[in-house]
């Protein structure tokens, strides 16, 4: 595995030099943030990011995300021009040495939590999702925003998007995904890039919008719709693990064996009655079998990228919710230990 760390480009408060000092750190996971969703990224912006990463002794082999324009998810006629731009981004990133692109196909919202600073008994804070808090939220009022969400929507756009999605059920969304994959996967193959779709987080409908990358059955369907190694997944344990019906050890083994896990986001969550709470990465802190998952990956030939995922806020750090330095660095150190141990025991 190759250890990576998400870095939000030049506006990130965390210096690349600090990231480099995390043991076993190989590459940043980043993106061009200065263009609206759906447009082509400039070669200059891409090479600037790469030069910054390399200047700090890190690679830039993973991009998260190249976001998918809503018109593609909705299947509108304008999807043609947006998919062309998407393909051009894949080509440009491939030329810059990028090997893996993480993206998602969630309508309107990316990952969703209902509270960003839930205090635990030890004084740390973390992100949580409680069903009853979600039902009290009105997305059209836009009272919550998370890193990774497109913040450019105005209230009016939001209302309009919800109207458009009224005609898109899970099946239609799936058809639109397959249309998209048929266009991009041949380009990715040629560019030497693996596409790694991120599961829906959480893996169920929110605000009445359809969600499809949620479980083994649907992931199987998406992988076989375009049967190419370049059409793979990001195994995000915290996302898929929020649904008790997902057997993560089994899924990790199965998709790694198929050679379709290109990226793994590994973190723990604690399942509670009304949702879940993000915890420290280690197995003892939450409900997921982190060691079982890592072992399943290792035993089935996984050689992709790994990153610690959301961290708690500890040691008085202030920063983007989920994306501080300290707890993610602890997460990386823990994951290094688990991988090294599992590898040593295999020999
Ligand atoms: C959350 C992230 C997601 C992810 C996108 C990929 O922290 O895992 O925002 O980057 O869903 O497109």
Q: pLDDT digits over 331-346, tens only?
A: 999 999 999 999 999 8
The Å distance, Cα 336 to ligand 1 centre, comes to 22
Q: Which two tokens stand for residue 263?
A: 């990226």
- The rounded distance, in Å, linking the Cα atoms of 290 and 266 is 8
Atom number in ligand 1 closest to CA 106: 11
Place of tokens 């995300």: 65
Map residue 215 onto helix, strand or coil. coil
CA 263 from chain centre, in angstroms, equals 9
Whole-Å CA distances, 160 to 70, 99, 135, 144, 217: 12, 36, 21, 18, 31
Both tokens of 20, joined, read 């480099």
Residue 342 — φ and ψ, nearest 5°?
-60, -40
112 lines ligand 1 (CB under 6 A): no
Q: Which residues contact 115 (CB under 8 A, 6 or more apart)?
A: 127, 128, 130, 133
Q: Identify which has the larger pLDDT, 331 or 109.
A: 331
- Cα(198) to ligand 1 centroid in Å equals 7
Residue nearest ligand 1's atom 12 by CA:
103
225 CA from centroid of ligand 1 (Å): 23
284 vs 142: which has the higher pLDDT: 284
Output the CA–CA distances (angstroms, integers) from residue 74 to 101, 132, 168, 209, in the order listed.
21, 28, 7, 11
Mean pLDDT of 313-317: 97
Q: Is 90 exceeded by the pLDDT of residue 78?
A: yes
For the CA of 323, the nearest atom of ligand 1: 7
- Rounded to the nearest integer, the mean pLDDT of the chain is 95
Task: Give catalytic residue positions.
Answer: 198, 236, 265, 309-310, 323
Closest of 203, 198, 190, 264 to residue 229, by C-alpha: 190
Confidence of residue 143 (pLDDT cuts 50, 70, 90): low
pLDDT at 150 over 80: no
169: pLDDT strictly greater than 90: yes
Q: Is the CB of 60 under 6 A from ligand 1?
A: no
Q: Is 287 in the pocket of ligand 1 (CB under 6 A)?
A: no
Give the closest residue to 214 by CA, choosing from 175, 183, 180, 174: 174
Task: Answer whether residue 216 shows pLDDT above 90.
Answer: yes
At residue 154 the predicted structure's pLDDT band, cuts being 50, 70 and 90, is confident
107: closest CA among 165, 36, 182?
Answer: 165
The sign of the dihedral angle between the CA atoms of 82, 84, 87, 93 is negative
Give the CATH H-level superfamily of domain 2-346.
Divalent-metal-dependent TIM barrel enzymes (3.20.20.150)
pLDDT score at 145: 64
Reply yes or no on whether the pLDDT at 77 is more than 90.
Answer: yes
- pLDDT tens column, 249-283: 999 999 999 999 999 999 999 999 999 999 999 99
Nearest CA to ligand 1 atom 9: 148
Sheet with strand 125-130: strands edge to edge: 115-119, 125-130, 275-278, 269-272
Q: Is 150 in the pocket of ligand 1 (CB under 6 A)?
A: no
> Which one has a higher pLDDT value, 150 or 57?
57
Ligand 1, atom 6: closest residue by C-alpha: 103
pTM of this structure: 0.96
Residue 137 confidence class, pLDDT cut points 50, 70, 90: confident
Residue of 73, 71, 70, 62 whose CA lies nearest to 102: 62
How do residues 18-48 score in pLDDT, each as one tens digit? 999 999 999 999 999 989 999 999 999 999 9
């Amino acid at each position: 595995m190759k250890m990576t760390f998400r870095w939000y480009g030049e506006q990130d408060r965390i210096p690349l030099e600090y990231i480099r000092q995390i043991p076993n750190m190989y590459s940043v996971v980043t993106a061009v943030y200065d263009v609206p969703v759906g447009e082509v990224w400039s070669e200059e912006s891409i090479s600037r990011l790469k030069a910054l990463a390399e200047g700090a002794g890190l690679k830039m082999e993973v991009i998260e995300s190249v976001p998918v324009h809503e018109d593609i998810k909705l299947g509108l006629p304008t999807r043609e021009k947006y998919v062309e731009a998407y393909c051009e981004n894949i080509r440009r990133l491939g030329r810059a040495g990028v090997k893996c692109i993480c993206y998602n196909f969630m309508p309107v919202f990316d990952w969703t939590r209902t509270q960003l600073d839930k205090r635990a008994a030890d004084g740390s804070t973390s992100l949580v999702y409680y069903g009853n808090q979600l039902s009290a939220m009105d997305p059209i009022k836009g009272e919550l925003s998370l890193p990774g969400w497109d913040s450019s929507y105005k209230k009016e756009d939001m209302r309009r998007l919800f109207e458009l999605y009224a005609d898109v059920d899970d099946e239609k969304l799936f058809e639109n995904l397959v249309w998209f994959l048929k266009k991009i996967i041949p380009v990715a193959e040629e560019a030497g890039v693996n596409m790694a779709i991120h599961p829906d987080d959480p893996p169920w409908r929110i605000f009445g919008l359809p969600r499809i990358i949620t479980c083994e059955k649907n992931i199987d369907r998406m992988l076989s719709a375009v049967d190419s190694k370049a059409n793979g997944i990001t195994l995000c344990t915290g996302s898929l693990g929020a649904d008790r019906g997902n057997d993560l050890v089994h899924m990790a083994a199965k998709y790694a064996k198929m050679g379709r896990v290109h990226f793994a986001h590994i973190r723990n969550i604690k399942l509670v009655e009304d949702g879940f709470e993000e915890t420290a990465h280690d197995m003892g802190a939450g409900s997921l079998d982190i060691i079982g998952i890592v072992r399943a990956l290792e035993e089935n030939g996984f050689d992709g990228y790994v990153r610690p995922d959301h961290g708690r806020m500890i040691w008085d750090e202030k920063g983007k919710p989920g994306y501080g330095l300290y707890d993610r660095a602890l997460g990386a150190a823990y994951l290094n230990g688990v991988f090294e141990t599992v590898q040593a025991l295999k020999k």
